[in-house]
């Protein structure tokens, strides 16, 4: 008999679920909010990690370019001395 009393409520929940609305208690809502926040934080860390990796690569390239410039100056100076 208890089942029959809850039946309209169960049908209402099923209809709400089909429409995309889900009834959650406050604990489930907090857990969902925490999960969303953690996912956003993880995405931010991933984005920052990618940016840092790109920055490190750029610094390495800048360092190599500076090294090549210095080598070029040195070789030009040696060439001038030979001529």
- Does a structural domain hold residue 44? yes
pTM, two decimal places: 0.48
- Does a structural domain hold residue 15? no
The DSSP secondary structure of 39-62, one letter per residue, reads HHHHHHHHHHHHHHHHHHHHHHHH
Which domain does 29 fall in, by range? Answer: 25-82
Give pLDDT tens digits for 40-81.
999 898 888 889 999 999 999 999 999 999 999 999 999 999
Total count of domains within the chain:
1
């Amino acid at each position: 008999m208890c089942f029959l009393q809850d039946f309209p409520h169960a049908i209402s929940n099923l209809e709400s679920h089909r429409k995309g609305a889900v009834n959650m208690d406050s604990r489930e809502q907090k857990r969902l909010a925490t999960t969303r926040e953690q996912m956003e934080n993880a995405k931010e860390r991933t984005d920052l990690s990618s940016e840092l990796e790109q920055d490190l690569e750029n610094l390495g390239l800048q360092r190599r370019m500076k090294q090549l410039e210095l080598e070029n100056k040195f070789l030009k100076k040696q060439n001038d001395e030979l001529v």
